[in-house]
């Protein structure tokens, strides 16, 4: 954790600090559009008088200042490229209209549609019934309308968003309106629905989310499942970005057959060391308690605690701790865990201190 940055997560929040991003242990989907983004480069020129390079198989130049291009049309200007089957360009207004297999590309985004309008004077492009792919967030989606204001902002109506590859929507965000500010790296969306496997699992009227890998507090995408051990099982984690060296995740988990489990994870990074603490607590296991002689008043809490730490007291003295506890032998079989799921039959409990000298080394260890 010292040499690796925290990865962001797909975040959602119900306040003005709601968030959306990705995390290492979250849904990991990628797509194959990397080679289609334009390279980031210093433009040859800027401003309204920047030259436009147009290539096509056939060109018609009309007297009113309009040029008609057809067949493999490519329009290039200031780090942006538009390709289409057919396009018209008005030299007086600087407007480009394109039809058929339209693709608008720059260093951060690819937008595809059957028709598009692009104003070269104010660097504004708009498309109807379009699909898009973004480079920074490795995401894709579609929208009924997309307005691209240069490389500064993007607005989408009736939009979807996912980081999964084509043909696979393990998770998907749907929103009525989306605004992406590429300069501040912040996005906003309204009337948002999160779908897992095609099923709606979360709704919020508003969210904001980072467009880069910066961490931001908020709800993570819910985890939904079902099994014979838990019944219907849903977890709605909340990520808390406490400080650059501290973060925590609160993970309430509801199981229809067993009840509500409260869980959490805390990570820290200091000069003296780094570590991770995890804990889960189920006050009353409905399934287990009701099976104990048919006595519904029988209660037994189910618990898990884990603490992993490593650090350096001095340049020669180091410490290591790996402590794990569960309330009963059946815990992993019933609930699973990030500690290695249900196959664990024993838990490590080990504390060490080590001295590394020039001539000799020393290690003291306690293990149980």
pLDDT digits (tens, 9 = 90+) for 152-205: 898 999 999 888 888 877 788 899 999 988 888 888 899 999 887 788 877 889
DSSP structural state of residue 57 = S
Where is mean pLDDT largest: 76-85, 146-155, 249-258? 249-258
Per the listing, tokens 């300069």 go with 183
Q: 32-36: which pairs have CB atoms within 8 A and are 24 or more residues apart?
A: 32/165, 33/110, 33/133, 33/135, 33/140, 34/135, 36/105, 36/110, 36/133
Lowest mean pLDDT among 5-19, 42-56, 154-168: 5-19
DSSP structural state of residue 230 = T
Half-sphere exposure of 325 (CA within 13 A, CB side): 10
Per-residue pLDDT at 263 = 94
Per-residue pLDDT at 296 = 53
- Gap between the Cα atoms of 84 and 111, Å rounded: 12
Report whether pLDDT(30) > 50. Answer: no
Per-residue pLDDT at 50 = 61
Say if residues 20 and 202 touch (Cβ distance below 8 Å).
no
The rounded mean pLDDT for the chain is: 79
- Percent of the chain scoring above 90 in pLDDT: 35
Report whether pLDDT(356) > 90. Answer: yes
Per-residue pLDDT at 337 = 56
- Is 85 in a helix, a strand, or coil? strand
- Gap between the Cα atoms of 121 and 118, Å rounded: 9
- Gap between the Cα atoms of 55 and 87, Å rounded: 10
Per-residue pLDDT at 344 = 53
Per-residue pLDDT at 123 = 78
Phi, psi for 64 (deg, rounded to 5):
-85, 10
- Gap between the Cα atoms of 361 and 358, Å rounded: 8
Encoded tokens for 156: 């989408």
State mean pLDDT over 77-95: 86
Report whether pLDDT(39) > 50. Answer: no
Q: Which of 18, 16, 27, 24 is nearest to 221 (CA)?
A: 27
Say if residues 230 and 255 touch (Cβ distance below 8 Å).
yes
What are the residue ranges of helices labelled H in 70-116? none
Q: Band of the pLDDT at 27, cuts 50, 70, 90?
A: very low
What architecture (CATH level 2) is domain 31-143+157-161?
Sandwich (2.60)
Per-residue pLDDT at 16 = 26
State mean pLDDT over 97-108: 88
Half-sphere exposure of 224 (CA within 13 A, CB side): 13
Per-residue pLDDT at 346 = 66
Encoded tokens for 315: 């340049």
Report whether pLDDT(24) > 60. Answer: no
- Gap between the Cα atoms of 19 and 237, Å rounded: 13
Which run of H or of E encompasses 161?
Answer: strand 153-161
- Gap between the Cα atoms of 176 and 192, Å rounded: 7
CATH 2.60.450.10 domain position(s) in the chain: 31-143+157-161
State mean pLDDT over 34-60: 60
Q: Band of the pLDDT at 243, cuts 50, 70, 90?
A: very high
Per the listing, tokens 């394109």 go with 98
Q: Band of the pLDDT at 307, cuts 50, 70, 90?
A: very high
Per-residue pLDDT at 292 = 55
Encoded tokens for 238: 């909340």
CA-angle at 98, arms to 127 and 51, nearest 5°: 105
Q: Classify burial at 113, counting beta carbons within 10 Å of its beta carbon; exposed 0-12, middle 13-18, buried 19 or more.
A: buried
Per-residue pLDDT at 196 = 78
- Gap between the Cα atoms of 12 and 205, Å rounded: 11
- Is 72 in a helix, a strand, or coil? strand
What are the residue ranges of helices labelled H in the chain? 286-291, 331-335
Of residues 47 and 146, more confidently modeled: 146
- Gap between the Cα atoms of 219 and 234, Å rounded: 14
Measure Cα distances from 26 to 15, 133, 220, 265 in Å: 22, 20, 9, 15
Per-residue pLDDT at 308 = 96
Q: Spell out a b/e string for 333-348, using b for 16 or more CB atoms within 10 Å of the CB, else e.
A: ebbbbebeeeebeebe
CA-angle at 226, arms to 163 and 304, nearest 5°: 90
Per-residue pLDDT at 273 = 94
Q: Which of 155, 85, 82 is nearest to 120 (CA)?
A: 82
């Amino acid at each position: 954790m010292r040499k690796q940055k925290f990865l962001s997560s797909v975040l959602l929040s119900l306040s003005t600090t709601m968030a959306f991003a990705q995390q290492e242990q979250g849904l990991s989907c990628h797509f194959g559009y990397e080679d289609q983004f334009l390279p980031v480069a210093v433009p040859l020129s800027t401003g309204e008088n920047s030259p436009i390079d147009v290539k096509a198989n056939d060109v018609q130049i009309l007297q009113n200042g309009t040029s008609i291009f057809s067949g493999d049309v490519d329009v290039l200007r200031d780090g942006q490229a538009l390709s289409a089957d057919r396009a018209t360009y008005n030299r007086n207004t600087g407007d480009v209209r394109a039809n058929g297999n339209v693709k608008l590309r720059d260093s951060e985004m690819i937008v595809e549609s059957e028709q598009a309008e692009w104003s070269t004077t104010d660097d504004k492009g708009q498309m109807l019934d379009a699909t898009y792919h973004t480079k920074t967030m490795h995401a894709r989606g579609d929208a009924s309308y997309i307005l691209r204001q240069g490389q500064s902002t993007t607005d989408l109506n009736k939009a979807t968003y996912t980081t999964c590859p084509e043909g696979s929507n393990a998770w998907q965000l749907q929103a009525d309106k989306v605004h992406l500010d590429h300069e501040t790296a912040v996005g906003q969306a309204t009337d948002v629905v999160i779908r897992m496997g095609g099923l709606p699992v979360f709704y919020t009227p508003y969210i904001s989310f980072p467009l880069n890998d910066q961490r931001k507090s908020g709800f993570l995408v819910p985890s939904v499942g079902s099994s014979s051990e838990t019944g219907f099982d849903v977890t709605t984690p909340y990520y808390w970005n406490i400080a650059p060296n501290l973060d925590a995740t609160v993970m309430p988990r509801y199981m229809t057959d067993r009840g509500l489990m409260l869980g959490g994870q805390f990570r820290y990074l200091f000069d003296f060391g780094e570590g991770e603490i995890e804990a889960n607590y189920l006050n009353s296991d409905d399934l287990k308690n009701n099976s104990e002689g048919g006595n519904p008043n029988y209660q037994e809490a189910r618990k898990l605690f884990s603490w992993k730490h490593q650090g350096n007291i001095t340049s020669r003295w180091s410490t290591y701790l790996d402590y794990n506890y569960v309330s009963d032998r059946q815990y992993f079989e019933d609930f699973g865990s990030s500690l290695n799921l249900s196959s664990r039959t024993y838990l490590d409990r080990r504390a060490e201190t080590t001295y590394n000298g020039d001539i000799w080394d020393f290690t003291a260890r306690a293990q149980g």
